[in-house]
Structure 1
């Protein structure tokens, strides 16, 4: 018997949200510009994959209502007076930039990266082993998503909390399952193989006192009463408490680098709103999404959009598109973009 025995660990979050306001219906390959690993002055094209989403009619109406209401307030970074720090950057605590390759595994990589940063052991949590367990759970009808072609942050965290985490060191030495030792960056080799619950829990380690706080799920975000500015303030508060936040958001995969049309440090390293994105969002015609880690914020920083417009106030993000994408693996998101297009947020911390 594994160390988990027959212990039942209840899910921390409701799974009912996974089939309502937003559905994950596939994945979308997208070409982005990255820095050449041979010559940093050159840009090269790289294919990444984002989630394909489908919003319900009610969710589309709620999104339009949210944007209309926010536009009525003007482009203000915050509606709340505060004496809190104007900038925070938690960094990633020795965690290298991860690379999800050409798979829709952003949620699994974001959660693994956030756990890595919380523990401070470097590239410690195996995303591959979690995904292969996901294959088994889907086939056994114990989960809706394996994680290979999309998922939700709460679903991935629930799985890790219930079954534990397998280390990257174990994966590289023994495989997940046996013999599958390397994550397939650019092909589909072994992505259908499964790791059973018994195989997984025999070698996994419990998360212990690591827990997640759901700040907003997709049902809440795409409801008429959602307060996007309040959520922004909650995320900033979590960061001030030393907690990184995993967020999901909608994007336009036909512009910039996977919808990133702004520039802070590098060209197309930032998600900002422009007229085209705004028009599509209000029409309910944004069909792609991504998951990422928020590691900091800056109330005074500026991002310049491809249309020349400046956006003030931003979140600092750690992506999983490799170290040559964005600003050496990091990206940025204007507060305005967050308020318009966020679709979930979960903070990770130790009790």
Structure 2
């Protein structure tokens, strides 16, 4: 699996996102099932997502306060599992006020089994959520994160502790034929309403530079590709300016992202990715998830 060396980090950082094209069977934010679920929420902003006339979102959004501390995936390709578990932990914390660390290693293993893969192959985001809904995921303490055990089969008792997520609804925010501008607007509206999303993006070698600031520049001409990586969008800032030190070009507007390279990367594990990645097709495969029990709580009411 692809890795990338970062300044200030002794071991390479894992990547692991396998791009997956839209499928006609995918639920999207426009699917009747998804709209019906959001329409039942106690939150006016979530109910607005179920309609066609959602108001223009504010210039900034930031959901970090409800996320658990950023984890480190090490040098294996488990970024999709890290992203999915991070969003589950967000909803558990925001909806119920509790923090339970989910087993990222368990989800990475069962996702690859779900795909019929062996080895450190990385995974699709769609498959990570499918495995989450099918197998559930246990607390971290029952199947701790040890990169040396990434291929080990969890024993039966670990499956017994897996929390049931069969009621989970996951849906695509970038359906086929959606333009970059449409995807950008959709993701921003969901973030403003309190719905984070996970996605994959093409990693260029200029990402080595922002270890402290977490500002990932739009690639300069001629930069080499390091691989694909899955992360979580947890906010945005329409006025965020990021400069690529290679060519001096700047972009305005960026997503606040939650990485899985530990708290020493970026701002305690968080960083910024320019909107330009979405507009130019370098960030795709956008997914959100929710469940009735999460969004029906008073925590989402305004």
TM-score range for the pair, normalised by the shorter chain length: 0.7 to 0.9
Give yes or no for contact 2:18–2:123 (8 Å, CA) kept in 1: no
- Superposed displacement of residue 128, structure 1: 1.6
Per-residue CA shift, 1:243-278, capped at 9, x if unaligned? 0000111122x3341xxx6x6x9455324232234x
Question: Residues of 2 paired with 1:255 and 1:86: CA distance?
Answer: 27
- Superposed displacement of residue 303, structure 1: 1.2
Aligned-residue Cα RMSD (Å) equals: 2.9
- The correspondence for 2:219, drawn from 248, 273, 289, is 273
- The correspondence for 1:124, drawn from 83, 101, 104, is 101
Unaligned segments of structure 1, at least 5 residues:
1-26, 34-42, 57-81, 172-181, 281-285
Per-residue CA shift, 1:114-163, capped at 9, x if unaligned? 1111111335211122233346x3xxxx5234694311111001111111
Give yes or no for contact 1:52–1:287 (8 Å, CA) kept in 2: no
Change (3 A) 1:247 1:228: same
Show the counterpart of 1:246: 198
Show the counterpart of 1:193: 152
Change (3 A) 1:214 1:324: same
- The correspondence for 1:205, drawn from 163, 172, 182, is 163
1:92-103 matches, cutoff 5 A: 92-103=65-76
Show the counterpart of 2:229: 290
1:40-59 matches, cutoff 5 A: 43-51=8-16
- The correspondence for 1:318, drawn from 234, 258, 281, is 258
Give yes or no for contact 2:16–2:80 (8 Å, CA) kept in 1: no
Question: Residues of 2 paired with 1:311 and 1:28: CA distance?
Answer: 27
- The correspondence for 2:4, drawn from 24, 30, 55, is 30
Change (3 A) 1:130 1:84: closer
Give yes or no for contact 1:323–1:329 (8 Å, CA) kept in 2: yes
- Superposed displacement of residue 350, structure 1: 2.9
- Superposed displacement of residue 110, structure 1: 0.6
Change (3 A) 1:109 1:83: closer
Question: Residues of 2 paired with 1:209 and 1:54: CA distance?
Answer: 25
- The correspondence for 1:350, drawn from 252, 274, 291, is 291
- Superposed displacement of residue 323, structure 1: 0.3
Question: Residues of 2 paired with 1:46 and 1:267: CA distance?
Answer: 19
TM-score by length of structure 1 reads 0.65
Unaligned segments of structure 2, at least 5 residues:
22-54, 293-302
Show the counterpart of 2:48: none
Question: Residues of 2 paired with 1:346 and 1:115: CA distance?
Answer: 13
Change (3 A) 1:213 1:134: closer
Question: Residues of 1 paired with 2:68 and 2:139: CA distance?
Answer: 14
Show the counterpart of 2:139: 167
- Superposed displacement of residue 164, structure 1: 1.2
Give yes or no for contact 2:199–2:287 (8 Å, CA) kept in 1: yes
TM-score by length of structure 2 reads 0.74
The structure with the greater share of residues assigned to strand is: 1
Count of aligned pairs between the two proteins: 254
Change (3 A) 1:92 1:102: farther
Looking at CA atoms only, which structure, 1 or 2, has the larger radius of gyration?
Answer: 1
